[in-house]
């Protein structure tokens, strides 16, 4: 869709990346690190100074203690961390429960390892997890449950009730959790992010993945990390070592310094909520129906009162004829389930969002 948007000169609200720059202070720290000579390999697990800052941040936010030496690894983006986590613990015929619509890297990695995908298809408008159905999927081959909150593409978040259900479900079970928390700092309306790190019963069995690219508006840097108990991180690093070995050194120095000011991430909910609210206010004037957006920087809409077209066809036509690119949510289902939902990214300048709404009002 990004290529199609570029071809037709459309406003690109499809792929999840900002159209504004990251912090000049952060860029200056990268430049300084390069000029100071930090241009060779970093340690395999990441700079200790960065791992220490990650541990401090995780403790402040969730009250969870992780040893920077044995329980934190810096990765070349969150997708690499997800692939590495799956590769480390999934073996042939292991079953992995995941929820669709889902970020597209989960299922291929499971299959590549010989695992079996057991998916539950969630439905709009709220995309709630039916925990009674999850219980039915669990067998003696269930190795892992993959969770993503705040959720891409739907913008939903796990509630405390969801956490309670999950704890009851995995208690006395040998089931691991892979928790994709790359949008952990993008939770709106004063709600709480229920990280697996908050809950001891979940923390001890979870590999938690996060992203500096998403957090600090620098997706092209491909910087992420994974935190996990030492027994899991030991296995994670066996794959990481031979997959990428080491991650971008000057960026690590810069982010380690940047994290010392907690306002750099604590201010993000307000920053993005302002964008969400402004975009939603504009969309409410269109013929689209807005779905909830409790987190991430995505806003989903339905269009049943506009057309009966398949979501992919409508998304292509919107790009070509109206000049606004979105993502059809059917692509996040392996079976291509089409519920007439499109996803827009609002991590854009206000003028970009205003221009997009102006065009969408023509429908």
Per-residue pLDDT reduced to its tens digit, 257-301: 999 999 999 999 999 999 999 999 999 999 999 999 999 999 999
Q: Spell out a b/e string for 165-202, using b for 16 or more CB atoms within 10 Å of the CB, else e.
A: bbeeebeeeebbbbbbbbbbbbbbeeeebbbbbbbeeb
pLDDT at 168 over 90: yes
User: What 3-state DSSP class applies to 258?
Assistant: helix
User: What 3-state DSSP class applies to 344?
Assistant: strand
Biggest distance spanned by C-alpha atoms of the chain = 59
Task: With both helix axes pointing from N to C terminus, report the angle between 350-360 and 268-283 in degrees, rounded to the nearest 10.
Answer: 20
As to burial, measured by CB atoms within 10 angstroms (0-12 exposed, 13-18 middle, 19+ buried), residue 232 is buried
As to burial, measured by CB atoms within 10 angstroms (0-12 exposed, 13-18 middle, 19+ buried), residue 132 is exposed
CB 264 within 8 A of CB 257: no
Residue-level pLDDT at 253: 98
pLDDT at 17 over 90: no
CB 291 within 8 A of CB 304: no
What is the mean predicted confidence (pLDDT) over 24-35?
Answer: 98
CB 187 within 8 A of CB 157: yes
What is the mean predicted confidence (pLDDT) over 176-191?
Answer: 98
Non-local CB neighbours of 199 within 8 Å, separated by 6+ positions: 163, 167
Of 210, 185, 253, nearest to 28 by C-alpha is 253
Residue-level pLDDT at 264: 96
Non-local CB neighbours of 79 within 8 Å, separated by 6+ positions: 105, 224
Q: Which fold has domain 2-16+266-360?
A: 3.90.1150
Residue-level pLDDT at 15: 87
Distances (CA, A) of 291 to 18, 42, 96, 225, 330: 21, 43, 28, 30, 15
- Per-residue pLDDT of 312-323, as tens digits, reads 999 999 999 999
Which CATH number does the domain 24-260 belong to among 3.30.565.10, 3.40.640.10, 2.40.50.140, 2.60.40.10?
3.40.640.10
pLDDT at 92 over 90: yes
Residue-level pLDDT at 31: 98
Average pLDDT taken over every residue of the chain: 97
Q: Where in the chain is the domain with CATH 3.40.640.10?
A: 24-260
The percent of residues in the chain predicted with pLDDT above 90, rounded, is 98
CB 316 within 8 A of CB 4: yes
Q: Where in the chain is the domain with CATH 3.90.1150.10?
A: 2-16+266-360
Q: pLDDT tier at 116 (50, 70, 90 boundaries)?
A: very high
């Amino acid at each position: 869709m990004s290529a199609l948007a570029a071809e037709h000169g459309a406003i690109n609200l499809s792929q999840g990346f900002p159209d504004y720059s990251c912090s000049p202070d952060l860029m200056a720290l990268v430049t300084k690190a390069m000029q100071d000579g930090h241009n060779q390999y970093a340690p395999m697990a990441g700079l200790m100074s960065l791992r220490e800052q990650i541990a401090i941040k995780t403790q402040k936010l969730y009250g969870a203690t992780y040893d920077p030496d044995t329980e934190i690894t810096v990765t070349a983006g969150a997708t690499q961390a997800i692939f590495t986590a799956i590769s480390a613990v999934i073996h042939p015929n292991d079953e992995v429960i995941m929820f669709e619509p889902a970020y597209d890297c989960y299922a291929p990695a499971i299959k590549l390892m010989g695992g079996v995908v057991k998916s539950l298809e969630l439905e709009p408008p709220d995309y709630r997890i039916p925990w009674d159905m999850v219980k039915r999927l669990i067998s003696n081959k269930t190795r892992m449950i993959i969770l993503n909150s705040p959720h891409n593409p739907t913008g939903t978040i796990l509630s405390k009730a969801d956490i309670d259900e999950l704890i009851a479900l995995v208690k006395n079970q040998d089931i691991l959790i892979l928790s994709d928390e790359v949008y952990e700092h993008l939770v709106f309306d004063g709600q709480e992010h229920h990280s697996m790190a908050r809950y001891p019963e979940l923390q001890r069995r979870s590999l938690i993945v996060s992203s500096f690219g998403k957090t600090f508006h620098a997706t092209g840097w491909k910087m992420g990390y994974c935190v996990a108990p030492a027994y899991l991180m030991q296995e994670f690093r066996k794959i990481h070592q031979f997959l990428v070995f080491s991650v971008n050194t000057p960026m690590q120095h810069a982010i380690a310094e940047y994290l010392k000011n907690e306002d750099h991430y604590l201010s993000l909910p307000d920053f993005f909520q302002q964008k969400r609210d402004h975009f939603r206010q504009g969309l409410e004037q269109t013929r689209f129906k807005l779905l909830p957006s409790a987190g991430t920087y995505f806003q989903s809409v339905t269009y049943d009162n506009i057309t009966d077209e398949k979501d992919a066809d409508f998304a292509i036509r919107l790009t070509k004829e109206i000049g606004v690119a979105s993502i059809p949510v059917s692509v996040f289902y392996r079976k291509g389930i089409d519920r007439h939902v499109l996803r827009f990214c609002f991590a854009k300048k206000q003028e970009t969002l205003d221009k997009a709404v102006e065009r969408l009002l023509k429908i």
